[in-house]
Amino acid sequence: MFRSLLLGTLLCLTAVPAYAQDSKPVTVTIKKRALVVGDVLTFAVTRKKKMGMTLTSNDDPTRSDKMDRVIDAVAGKTIEIIEVKDGKVTKIKVTFGKIAKVVHDKQRTDSGEEDKDPLSGRSFTVSHADKKLIIKTAKGEVDASDEYSVTKAIKWFFEEQGRGFAGALPSTPIKLNAEFAPPLSALRRLLEIKKEDKNSQITKPKMVFKGLVKLGDVHCAKFALSADAKSEKFGPMKALIMSMKAKGMVFVEVETGRVLSIQSSSKVVMGSAPNKLFKATGAGSTAQTHTMKYSVASSNMNPTPKK
């Protein structure tokens, strides 16, 4: 019984390779290049979650269940822009790469086995009209399961036109240490906190400009990201509480205004809301890497910082 109550959720953030630091400038102007037909964006995510939790019976303190778990996960997708109207993307082709996770837990019979998502390796065309998504495969319409999964993975792209955290940034010069409020929608995705979950909250969200770095030959503006989060809606009995402190870096390409990488880590403390069944205690951490490669249809892309 107690074992089943351990199925909570940890949140997600990121980690990237080292970058070469630019000497200057202390200010930067980030251009916001709109997506055009033929642009291709390739997203890749890797994450590692670690969690340990103990559930103790309220009726009998000698009865307890302990879980130590590590989850390794990967996810990838490529988006090709097919249609743009009035400056906004209205149709794409999305091809999902490998989406899978491996759970390491000595108490599970499937420990160490790869669990592959049904979307892996499949392609869909997705149109956005009247705030609705029309999803098709080469053979036609999709079933309800595919529609739900593709919508969950792609809806944000149309709503934010693929900008994510960069949506908070102005087109005017940004001074060193300038602060911005990151888009809550982008934070919710990273922290896996649903908008409709009224018992969850994100506090102290902040992005701070920390200078310019190079990702290969591409000039990027570096922003320190931080946020606290809390959720009281985990587990079958909705009695688990998870509190998290996250910090990291967001790297935005100067010439396009696109997020190319996010580097972050988080610490999680788990407990239980008052209930008649159990007391929960535990802790965990998450490290994750998000990267985006950007192949543009036009040939005038020579990233140089705006000074």
pLDDT tens-digit readout, 93-107? 999 999 999 999 988
Q: Is there a domain that residue 216 lies in?
A: yes
Q: Is there a domain that residue 139 lies in?
A: no
Number of domains the chain contains: 1
Q: Is there a domain that residue 200 lies in?
A: yes
Q: Is there a domain that residue 59 lies in?
A: yes
Task: Name the least confident of 47-61, 139-153, 287-301.
Answer: 287-301
Q: Is there a domain that residue 113 lies in?
A: no
pLDDT tens-digit readout, 189-248? 898 887 766 678 899 999 999 999 998 889 999 999 999 998 876 555 556 788 999 999
Q: Is there a domain that residue 110 lies in?
A: no
- pLDDT category at 18 given cuts 50, 70, 90 is very low
Separation of alpha carbons 253 and 255, rounded Å = 6
Cβ atoms of 231 and 246 closer than 8 Å: no
Separation of alpha carbons 269 and 64, rounded Å = 19
Question: What are the CA-CA distances from residue 46 to residues 241, 254, 286, 287 (Å)?
Answer: 25, 25, 11, 8
Task: Name the least confident of 14-23, 87-96, 104-113, 196-205.
Answer: 14-23
Domain coverage including residue 287: 4-74+163-295
Q: Using the predicted structure, report yes or no on whether residue 1 has a pLDDT greater than 60.
A: no
pTM of the model: 0.83
284-287, Cβ contacts within 8 angstroms, sequence gap of 24 or more? 284/10, 284/49, 284/50, 284/51, 284/52, 284/53, 285/49, 285/50, 286/10, 286/11, 286/12, 286/13, 286/47, 286/48, 286/49, 286/50, 287/13, 287/14, 287/15, 287/47, 287/48
Q: Is there a domain that residue 248 lies in?
A: yes
- For 235: left if phi > 0, alpha if psi spans -120 to 50, otherwise beta; the answer is left
Q: Using the predicted structure, report yes or no on whether residue 299 has a pLDDT greater than 60.
A: no
Q: Is there a domain that residue 112 lies in?
A: no
